Amino acid sequence: DAMVIQNPRYQVTQFGKPVTLSCSQTLNHNVMYWYQQKSSQAPKLLFHYYDKDFNNEADTPDNFQSRRPNTSFCFLDIRSPGLGDAAMYLCATSRDLVSETQYFGPGTRLLVL
Amino acid sequence: SQQGEEDPQALSIQEGENATMNCSYKTSINNLQWYRQNSGRGLVHLILIRSNEREKHSGRLRVTLDTSKKSSSLLITASRAADTASYFCATVGTGANSKLTFGKGITLSVRP
């Protein structure tokens, strides 16, 4: 059974055209994360939600925003995608503390033309 | 930086052989985790070892942690072609706001 679901799996957008990636979870976890992973690099944390509390990483560009309307869903909005934003975007959850095991979705591959 | 560094960057072995991957880190940790990532997919959690633990097993996986050397190793015994993937170590520091920080990963290829 799918636990962390990401849609779409592949997303193509145009330079500067806003795009939204979605993530949903069936685990009822309190914490949801968004990571950016570029080719052959480590996943880089963009931000996370602890319940409704939003926690932005200091080096996450303003171009990246997130919404969590309820426990199950979390969205990543890229307001004006640039060529450098092409990457795999990974959503993850953990039950409670940030230090616990994280459960990842399959990722959304974003291509910017 | 808390980021772990894996060694080697790439490893190629024959099916049936053991694969050993190492991770070093710089500052004190709460725990260290290993994840696997198949090409173009999300990460799968393999094992978590806490700072007060020295060794853990899970199936064909054995993880050791040496906090005095700030290092960990992941051993996969009797490797299979299906073990071909990238393996990441990730650490959580001891600070109140510590986050999971990933290393760059090791690419393991298991030849049939």
Contact yes or no for B42 and A45 at CB 8 A: no
**Model confidence pLDDT, tens digit, residues B17-71:** 999 999 999 989 999 999 999 988 899 999 999 999 999 999 999 999 999 999 9
Q: Which of B30, B45, B99 sits opposite A45 (nearest CB)?
A: B99
Mutate to test the interface with A, among B33, B100, B104, B106 (most CBs of A within 10 A): B100
φ/ψ bin of B108: left (φ > 0), alpha (ψ from -120 to 50), beta (otherwise): beta
The C-alpha atoms of residue B37 and residue A100 are separated, in whole angstroms, by 18
Per CB-CB distance under 8 Å, the chain B contacts of A101 are 33, 45, 48
Amino acid A2: pLDDT:
66
Positive or negative, the CA dihedral A99, B53, B27, B95 is: positive
Note the pLDDT of residue B31: 94
On chain A, the residues whose CB falls within 8 A of the CB of B28 are: none
Which two tokens mark B7? 């060694």
Indicate the pLDDT class of residue A37, thresholds 50, 70 and 90: very high
Report chain A residues whose CB lies below 8 A from the CB of B40.
88, 107, 109
Distance of CA B27 to the CA centre of its chain: 17
Contacts across the A-B interface (CB distance below 8 Å): 54
Tell me, what DSSP letter sits at residue A60?
S
Spatial distance between the Cα atoms of A26 and B6, rounded to a whole number of angstroms: 32
Q: What is the three-class DSSP state of A83?
A: helix
pLDDT higher than 60, residue A26: yes
Beta carbons of B100 and B3 less than 8 angstroms apart: no
Which pairing describes strands B10-14 and B106-111: parallel, antiparallel, or unpaired? parallel
Average pLDDT over residues B88-112: 89
Beta strands in A30-102 (DSSP E): 31-37, 44-50, 53-56, 64-67, 73-78, 87-94
CB contact under 8 A, A42 and B103: yes
Q: Is B92 in the A-facing interface, judged by CB distances under 8 Å?
A: yes
The terminus-to-terminus CA distance of chain B in angstroms comes to 38
Contact B88, B105 (CB under 8 A): yes
Q: Does B48 touch chain A (CB under 8 A)?
A: yes
